[in-house]
């Protein structure tokens, strides 16, 4: 049994806390609001995040970071990407050398273009940082439905240790050394899911969805491999797997926000109506900045940015994507020579 702090009581943080508690670990769930922590303690429910799921009496719930972090063997960081740096700074007094940090947040920090583990490693260098990602809706994990994820770590022995903590009959965990690929796949798929939702909101069909998923994956892997990720990662669970589930499911807040944008809502209206953090909005601009530093094109992600931040009509964005210059799908494939 390990003592584990789960930092963030959103739907994903709460689901992971439930999973780890069910696995026999001593878990403390941290909320940034005392009113929320008190409500969970009093009712043993978190209806606004995970409807119908009971929180066990033996799981501690607190709004004190000291209680959630100090003395723990592992802390799982599951706050919105825009809050990771601030939260890490607040955690600093309670971190001991060698403590395991697992980033389960997905995003890219716009000001620095750091991934979430990059932020943790900068702010908390004495800790051992890793990541958890994959096609994993919180609602399904909380219900014990079969789910598969990946733990990314720099050292295999650390990955193996964390794999054992999370592994269960309904939660299968693979391991990987490719933190860069895992995190970029997890962040960028949210932007493509916004595009998929926009297409749904405009009434487009399965043909358009399939095109957005496959060409979106091309953009993700194009940028990700340029930044040091591996192609195998983008073809796997934290790449194509996560992209498929985020583009296809109504559990996906990014897809739901995209649907509202496709129906004519503004970015602000869509985010308010979804009433949850829409990470793709924050990653979209960062992705374009990363692409500019690499000198590569990301046509879908660029159009999503224009819809989000420049008020572009989604119909015009789709038209421009369809009317781009003719391309070869895969320039690495050889043609037969003319005899």
Which residues are tagged catalytic? 189
Give the contacts of 84 (CB within 8 A, at least 6 positions apart): 77, 103, 105, 107, 109, 116, 119, 120
Considering just the CA atoms, what is the radius of gyration of the chain in Å? Answer: 20
Beta-bridge partners for 131: 103, 152
What stretch of H or E contains 26? strand 26-30
DSSP class of 76: E
Placement of tokens 């979804």 in the chain: 274
Please report, in angstroms and rounded to a whole number, the separation of the first and last CA atoms in the chain.
Answer: 69
One-letter-per-residue 3-state SS of 108-154: ECCCCCCEHHHHHHHHCCCCEEEEEECCCCHHHHHCCCCEEEEEEEC
């Amino acid at each position: 049994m390990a003592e584990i702090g789960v930092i963030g009581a959103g739907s994903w943080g709460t689901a992971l806390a439930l999973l780890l508690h069910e696995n026999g670990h001593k878990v403390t769930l941290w909320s940034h609001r005392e009113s929320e922590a008190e409500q969970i303690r009093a009712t043993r429910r978190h209806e606004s995040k995970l409807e119908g799921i009971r929180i066990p009496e033996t799981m501690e719930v607190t709004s004190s970071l000291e209680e959630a972090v100090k003395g723990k063997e592992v802390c799982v960081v599951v706050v919105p990407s825009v809050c990771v740096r601030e939260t890490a700074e607040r955690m600093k007094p309670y971190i001991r050398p060698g403590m395991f940090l697992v980033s389960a947040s997905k995003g890219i920090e716009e000001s620095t273009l750091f991934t979430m583990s990059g932020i943790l490693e900068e702010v908390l260098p004495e800790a051992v940082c890793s990541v958890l990602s994959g096609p994993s809706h919180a609602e399904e994990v909380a219900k014990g439905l079969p789910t598969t994820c990946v733990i990314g770590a720099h050292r295999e022995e650390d990955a193996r240790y964390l794999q054992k903590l999370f592994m269960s009959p309904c939660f299968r965990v693979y391991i990987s050394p490719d933190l860069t690929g895992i995190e970029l796949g997890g962040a960028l798929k949210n932007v493509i899911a916004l595009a998929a939702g926009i297409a749904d909101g405009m009434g487009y069909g399965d043909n358009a969805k399939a095109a957005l998923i496959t060409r979106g994956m091309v953009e993700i892997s194009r940028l990700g491999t340029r930044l040091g990720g591996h192609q195998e990662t983008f073809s796997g669970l934290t790449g194509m797997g996560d992209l498929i589930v985020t583009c296809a499911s109504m559990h996906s807040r990014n897809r739901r926000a995209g649907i509202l944008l496709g129906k004519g809502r503004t970015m602000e209206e869509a985010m308010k109506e979804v009433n949850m953090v829409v990470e793709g909005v924050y990653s979209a601009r960062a992705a374009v900045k990363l692409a500019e530093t690499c000198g590569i094109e990301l046509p879908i992600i660029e159009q999503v940015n224009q819809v989000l931040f420049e008020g572009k009509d989604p119909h015009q964005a789709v038209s421009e994507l369809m009317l781009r210059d003719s391309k070869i799908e895969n320039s690495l494939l050889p043609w037969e020579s003319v005899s």
